[in-house]
Structure 1
Amino acid sequence: VLPFVFEGFDALIAAVLEENSQQVVEIEPVLSERGPVNLSLKLTPLKDADGITYGMTLVVDDLTEIKKRDATLNVVRTYLPPSLVRNIQSIDGLGLSGDEREISVVFADVRGFTTFSEQLPPEELMAVINRYLTVSTDAIQLYDGIIDKYMGDAVVGLFNTQLNPQQDHAVRAVRAALSMAYDVRALHEVLPPEQRLFYGIGVDTGIAMLGNVGSPSRKEFTAIGAPFNFAKLLQENALAGEIIISQQTYDLVQDLFMADPLEPRKVKGYPGFQIMYRVTGVNKSRQG
């Protein structure tokens, strides 16, 4: 069978016998009953007491599933901080092809960035915005969220996906938003006044579809559904430095955080959107 799936098989045998050395090669043939596979061929010379080669052994290892898991793990590493990657027990059960579940979404956008960007040369502009994106990324990952995407000066974080399952995902999302707001103020201490910007942050909780989307050559893990869109709308309602959460999120976190009810400033296709909440801090009396 091997000569038919690997044209260099005869040459490999000849090299083992002539050079008296082990040869290892990986091949990726397409088998009629299985499709593409990954095989490791290890050919080792057999020698007699005088060191003369009189034959060889052939060991074939099927690495197909291992290679698939490694490829999936490499993709996962682009979504998750190292601490979460190390905690993954089973790649096969991640459900990256599609999973519907309740998640919490943090959508944060830098306020005043468009006007600010017109005042700086490109290199300096990118350096500044990357400092703000680093703050938001660190805040999301501090509470084991994953970065869904960067959109210019905006960042989207996801909690309770199949990559980071969390029962307290709404609490984590709000904590991440607060940490982001606090850390931006700390960043201001080392930035000149003209570079001191603020995030407007929206947080929503709801059912979404999550999985890999894209073409065979490029895929991205993302969330599709109402929570992503509504978190973006809440972010658009937020003034500079504000954290605005939805009723759904508020219902899950109201005992732990202080929040003021507000009328929406923008409703954008959500006629039933009548109330939102501005988070003002942590309810210290309920913190354990």
Structure 2
Amino acid sequence: MPIFNQSIRRKIVGIALGLIILMVVTAILSMVMSSRVGHLLDELTARYIPAYGHLARSNVRSLERALAMRRMVIAKMQTPPDEEGFAARLKIFRETDAQVEQEAEAARKLINAIIDDESTPSDNAALARIETRIENAVKELRRELDEEDAKLLRLLDAKDFAATRDVLVHVDALRDLFTQRIDAIRAEMLSQVFVSTAQVIRHQRQAIIVSGIVTILAAIVGLAFAIMVSTGITRPVRLLLAGTREVEAGRFDKTISVSTQDEIGELASAFNRMVEQLRQNERIRETFGRYIDPKVVQGLIDRPEVAVDGQRRVMTIMFCDMSGFTAMSEGMTPRGLVKVMNHYFTVMSGPIRSNRGIIDKYIGDAIMAYWGPPFIEEEEPALLAGLAAIEMADQVPALQKQLPDLLGIRAMPGLCDLRIGIATGEVLTGSIGSELMMSFTVMGDAVNLASRLEAVNKTYGTRILISQATADAIGSHLGLREVDRLAVAGQSAPQTIFEVMGRAGALTAAHESLRSHYAEGLAAYRARRFDEARAGFNAALEAVPGDGPSRAMLARITRFEAHPPDEGWDGAWRLEQK
């Protein structure tokens, strides 16, 4: 509708103007009908009722005329005659005689005025009959009374009182006849007064009813108009609110239908454009989330200064590698190898992301990930990395069963396993690269140490090795075993390394015995009590046959028996190769 294509200001002004127009129309109609009632009431009070009053006074003047005549006769018949009283009574008689005609003529004029006024409803035929009857009654009375009055005065002058009495009786009969006619005319006039009064009352009631109906209709029309316009305003606002809540919840598939061309319609169009841009940004984010960890993408969007400036932070780094990858890949086609690696990375990436880790990159068959601020709190990185490593190790048996089915072969050329190294320390975080291409990553000794620990798993026959700082941060939340003091390639100062055996409280009795005997053997080993150390490591092997660290330490003891360590030996083992 055109009304919805106007601005909000014009809509509001239009509502107000429409209501004002309705009020004016209602007021004008009420005034017109009130004026009509007033006009009828004026006619009733200025014509009908006065005309009736003149007829009544004409009757009264007729009685007064008759009384003056009797007094005049009495004054003349006295002995001696009261000439002065007779003259006074004669004067009053003549005045009242003229007043009878005057009152009747005044009534006739008012009745004719009613008939002539076409602006008011009236029974003109009945009023015309009344006017004619008044005229006839007055004319007949005047003609007969003039004759009788003249005769009466002659008889009084002649002092023929007997004849005078007869004339007086005849005059009284004429007066009674006139009174009867005037009474009949008054009755008809009174009925016309009642009719006029009823019309005034009817028109007044009609004015009240019509004014009420028009007022109600105006209120209904105004309310409907206001509701229609306000709905046209509030409906898009509610749609905008619903769309905003959808966007707030992260759902960008909802658009708003633009039904108006006012400011709200423009706002709805701008909202749809914004949602479309957000939808595109979300698609970009999802696309890049397959190449860059989504948390990094979100972090760079929320805090771009972190990528630009770079910061030093204490973080936990993980390196994960697939053991036996070279042997396994030799017998596969490129397509089969890609299929296996994609499945392997999908399975191993799940625990990292579920434990809020950031996957930095895939390097061949290796995964590099890290935990730390600003992505998670500073107290949690080491524990989350340890839990992720345990979950990744738990996936190995299922992965070994899935790979043959994935390739459509009975058995894999070689068994696959995991090697995980975790280290905690201060690293540099930020965007590293050239002006043409950059990568948000971490750099530092902790990164190198995690990479070395991943490789050291081959030496000790373990899956998960962590640094001293990582073990200190984990505490008793996971089941740890101290494995050795080791100086990896590139580091001069040795540090203690630990194996993650499982979740705290989940170790079997055999593994608890293994950890206890291994600790005894390790203490004797560092004190150069190699026989006691051998006994401790053998006891550990009895608890868990094939334990890699125990076998590695027994081999080292055999080597020391042939080539004892120097006197200044600190109990640490130094690796010369990466």
Match of 2:450 among 218, 231, 240: 231
- Is the partner of 1:190 in helix, strand or coil? helix
Deviation at 1:81, TM superposition (A): 3.6
What is the match of residue 158 of structure 1?
370
Distance (Å, rounded) in 2 between the aligned partners of 1:90 and 1:153: 30
Q: Deviations over 1:236-276 (max 9, x none)?
A: 11146610000000011121111111126772122322421
The runs of 5 or more residues in structure 2 that have no matched partner are: 1-273, 405-410, 507-578
| Correspondence for 1:259 | 480
Q: Does 1:219 align with 2:438?
A: yes
Q: State whether residues 288 and 294 of structure 2, in contact with CA within 8 Å, keep that contact through their aligned partners in structure 1.
A: no
Question: Given the superposition, is the C-alpha separation of residues 198 and 120 from structure 1 closer, same or farther in structure 2, using an over 3 Å criterion?
Answer: same
1:185 aligned partner, one-letter code? P
Deviates further, 104-113 or 256-265:
256-265
Among all aligned residue pairs of Structure 1 and Structure 2, give the percentage whose two residues are the same amino acid: 29
What is the CA distance between 1:168 and its match in structure 2? 0.6
- Which position in structure 2 is the counterpart of 1:95? 306
Shift of 1:100: 0.8
Please name the residue that 1:120 is paired with: 332
From the superposition, tell whether residues 169 and 213 of structure 1 become closer, same or farther in structure 2 (CA, over 3 Å). Answer: same
Residues 167/266 of structure 1: CA separation in 2 closer, same or farther (3 Å cut): closer
SS of aligned partner of 2:326: helix
Deviation of 1:79 (Å): 3.2
TM-score, normalised by the number of residues in structure 1: 0.67
User: In the aligned structure 2, how far is the partner of 1:150 from the partner of 1:233?
Assistant: 17
CA distance in 1, matches of 2:288, 2:379: 21
Distance 1:242 1:135 in 2: 17
Structure with greater Cα Rg: 2
Q: Distance in 2 between matches of 1:174 and 1:211?
A: 24
**In structure 2, do the counterparts of structure 1 residues 220 and 90 end up closer, same or farther at CA, with 3 Å as the change threshold?**
closer
Matches within 5 A, 1:62-211: 74=285, 77=289, 78-81=291-294, 91-92=302-303, 95-97=306-308, 98-192=310-404, 193-194=411-412, 196-211=415-430
Listed one character per residue, the Cα deviations across residues 18-51 of structure 1 (whole Å, up to 9, x for unaligned) are: xxxxxxxxxxxxxxxxxxxxxxxxxxxxxxxxxx
> Which structure shows the higher helix fraction?
2
Unaligned 5+ runs, structure 1 = 1-62
1:62-92 CA deviation, whole Å, 9 max, x = no partner?
x9xx99xx79x9598453347x867x69723
Residue range with higher mean Cα deviation, 142-151 or 154-163: 154-163
1:249 aligns with 2:470: yes
Q: What residue in structure 2 maps to residue 24 of structure 1?
A: none
Q: Aligned letter for 1:257?
A: L
C-alpha contact 1:135 1:184 (8 A) present in aligned 2: no
How many residues in Structure 1 have an aligned counterpart in Structure 2?
219
Match of 2:497, as an amino acid?
M
Is this contact kept in 2: 1:237–1:266, CA < 8 A? no
* Aligned-partner SS, 2:306: coil
Q: Normalising by structure 2, what TM-score? A: 0.35
Of Structure 1 and Structure 2, which has the larger fraction of its residues in strand? 1
Q: What's the C-alpha RMSD, in Å, of the aligned pairs?
A: 3.2
Offset of residue 221 of structure 1: 0.7
Output the CA distance in 1 between the equivalents of 2:465 and 2:300: 35
Corresponding letter in the other structure for 1:183: Q
